[in-house]
Amino acid sequence: MEQDYIKLIFGLKLKQIRTERGLSLFGLSKLSGLSKSYLNEIEKGKKYPKPDKIASLSEHLEVSYDDLVSLKLDKNLAPIGEILQSKLLKEIPLELFGIQESTLIDIISNAPVKVTAFISTIIEIAKNYNFSRENFFLASVRSFQEANNNYFDDLEQAVLKFAKTYHIDLSKEITAQELEEILVEEYGYNINNEELEAHSELDNLRSIYVPKTKTLLITKSIDDAQRAFIYAKELAYNYLNITERLYTFSWIKFDSFDEVLNNFYASYFAGSLIIPRNSIVADLKQIFNQKKFNEKEFRALLLKYNASPESVYQRLTNILPKDFKLKDLFFLRFSHKVKTDDFTLNKELHLSKQQSPRASETNEHYCRRWASLKVLDAINQNNSEHEFSVQISNYKDQDQQYLVLASATKDPFKNYRNRSISVGIKLNGQSERKLNFINHKSIEKVDVGVTCERCNIHDCEVRKAPPTVLESQQKEQKTAEVVRDIQNKYSS
């Protein structure tokens, strides 16, 4: 068993027994002859006392030596023991958010019953929402992105150095062939375009990397943009000296949080390389400075780089907060099964915690007035390659408005599925200063909700379900008002 775990358990037990005896650290110090600072270190799990000191503590606390050193915990501390023994705290990327494990242990030990009850509640909620280890790690990475406004200057600078080292002209479109040459010549990669095609079970994978022989198996069915992105990620792993990594794309499993985080770093590097910051900033300034939104120019921007529309939209979430100070925004990716009412929100990023929607509304119907879903309806009806929409979404209940840019394309990896990507920019003083076209009459303003079940738009022509949640909330509010009136009546 890990020494750290043994020290933590001993410290928790010592603190519990001491407080049960009504002793302060100072009081126990006087009784035992051990310094207050030393006892504090023990209780925090940083030190484990020698046998003679344990004997002294046992004597003065009137508890047997064996009970004091036993790893068995009473019912109040048992949940903490389970958490520590399960190594859950080792799985949580605490250091990513500047949190020390000892700090968290200290919080738990100060109120073990309440904190463990809270943790148990969170675990139960997670189970009910099928919140897996995978979801937890992905949510952690998302929170990390949000905390940094999804901009990482060290990665941006690494891309510039990489381009200089390998004489890549960032002012021109970067091709897969150009990146493949670097992988082969500089990093000794072997590119295999045949093997994946021989296995029908692997039709959902685009690439597999075999580190022992530096072989990259890559499917033939992808276009040059998708191939370039895979190559760019492989270059990121090598150039950034990342060893803990995922070996399939899309990934099928992971063994640690670091693999998930490094996958994000490699993806960020790839997006920054293929869609250079200086170039896209100049393009966006040209579009934003016009008094009327130029859809043609924005569509041209989506096609300018050797990248999918999704990659360009994701790049916007790096660029808009940093270079235009537009930090209140969200990114959504929906998947839609053709000829069904199956709309799934499978990727989201919110740089401000206040925005809707959230993917938690799994059993409700997302608002069909959103640009994200309207473009999916359009591509389904028109059987086109790309549908685009721009609108101002007015969330009446929240008194917030967003300029939403949305595109829908066919899913290149799943038959009979389309996907939409959208970015929403909150309307405020900053966005009005940066987006000259924001008040132009050509941009449609649409009242929207979050889900049909929570929406108070009574005359909605695309409603898919009655406002049951809203009605329930209104009924509860009315009940509370009547109870309050009765109480006031009989109180006077």
pLDDT in tens, 198-223: 887 887 889 999 999 999 999 988 89
Q: How much is the pLDDT for 100?
A: 66
pLDDT higher than 70, residue 416: yes
Share of the chain above pLDDT 70, in %: 86
Lowest mean pLDDT among 212-221, 249-258, 266-275: 249-258
Q: How much is the pLDDT for 342?
A: 83
pLDDT higher than 90, residue 37: yes
C-alpha 207/C-alpha 48 separation (Å) is 49
> Which carries the bigger pLDDT value, residue 183 or residue 141?
183
Q: How much is the pLDDT for 200?
A: 79
Pairing of strands 386-395, 400-410: antiparallel
Measure CA of the first residue to CA of the last residue in the chain; give whole Å: 66
> What band does 363 get if pLDDT is binned at 50, 70 and 90?
confident
Residue 189 backbone phi and psi in degrees, to 5: -75, 150
Mean pLDDT of 67-91: 68
Which residue, chain included where needed, has tokens 């891309």?
A: 159
Which residue, chain included where needed, has tokens 């900053």?
A: 430
C-alpha 342/C-alpha 170 separation (Å) is 40
pLDDT, tens digit (0-9, with 9 covering 90-100), for 165-179: 999 999 999 999 999
Mean pLDDT of 298-304: 95
C-alpha 162/C-alpha 166 separation (Å) is 6
> What band does 102 get if pLDDT is binned at 50, 70 and 90?
low
pLDDT higher than 80, residue 330: yes
Q: How much is the pLDDT for 77?
A: 67
pLDDT higher than 80, residue 50: yes
Q: Kindly report whether the peptide bond that precedes residue 309 is cis, defined as omega within 30 degrees of 0.
A: no
pLDDT higher than 90, residue 258: no
pLDDT higher than 60, residue 349: yes
Q: How much is the pLDDT for 46?
A: 84
Token duo for residue 46: 């940083």
C-alpha 369/C-alpha 455 separation (Å) is 11
C-alpha 132/C-alpha 400 separation (Å) is 32
Mean pLDDT of 64-76: 80
pLDDT higher than 70, residue 304: yes
Cα pseudo-dihedral 448, 449, 451, 453, rounded to 10: -120
C-alpha 212/C-alpha 285 separation (Å) is 46
Q: Residues 31, 23: contact at Cβ < 8 Å?
A: yes
pLDDT higher than 80, residue 312: yes
pLDDT higher than 90, residue 119: no
Q: Kindly report whether the peptide bond that precedes residue 250 is cis, defined as omega within 30 degrees of 0.
A: yes
Query: Global pTM?
Result: 0.78
Residue type (1 letter), 380: N
CA distances from 459 to 366, 448, 467 (A): 17, 12, 12
pLDDT higher than 90, residue 81: no
Lowest mean pLDDT among 70-79, 313-322, 469-478: 70-79
For residue 141, give every residue at least 6 positions away whose Cβ sits within 8 Å of its Cβ, in sequence order, or none. Answer: 260, 261, 264
pLDDT higher than 60, residue 274: yes
> Which carries the bigger pLDDT value, residue 212 or residue 256?
212
C-alpha 42/C-alpha 49 separation (Å) is 7
Q: ∠ CA(69), CA(70), CA(73), 5° rounding?
A: 120
Q: How much is the pLDDT for 203?
A: 79
Q: How much is the pLDDT for 106?
A: 64
> Which carries the bigger pLDDT value, residue 249 or residue 270?
270
Query: Residue 131, Cβ neighbours under 10 Å: how many?
Result: 15
Averaged confidence pLDDT in the chain? 86
